[in-house]
Amino acid sequence: MIKIELRRFLIVGFTTVLIDFICYHLMLLIVNSYAPAKAFGFVMGSIFAYFINKIWTFKHRNVANYSVSKFAILYLATLGVNVGLNGTLLSIFGTEWLSVQFAFLIATSVSAIMNFMGMRMFVFVGKI
């Protein structure tokens, strides 16, 4: 079962990262500030990820176990890791185009691993 969930999570994750990436870069054009742009992209991807992972990846139907609250707690924590790591890498490597892409990829990868573990062990437990 974990193999199916992991496969589905990777598909959803790829789509989520694409949403994050597009929103991040669009917001950079508007605000020209990395942290708010990264946070915006992450939040937009997170909204998508919650619903698709709940319904398809983890087949979670239980509405009474506070999965939205648990998801919010998990994603607030990983948002901090994502934005913080992105900012740290940008301060180390600079803000040239390739550095921005590298920082995005590393920050997103780390938070994606944390999100899968958190969703599987904390958010979407006790399926009906």
pLDDT of residue 126: 62
Whole-structure pTM value? 0.79
**pLDDT of 124 above 50:** yes
Average pLDDT of span 107-118: 92
Closest CA to 76 of 126, 114, 22: 114
pLDDT of residue 128: 43
Separation between Cα atoms, residue 52 and residue 36, nearest integer Å: 25
54-107 pLDDT tens trace? 889 888 776 656 788 998 999 999 999 999 999 999 999 999 999 999 999 999
Average pLDDT of span 119-123: 87
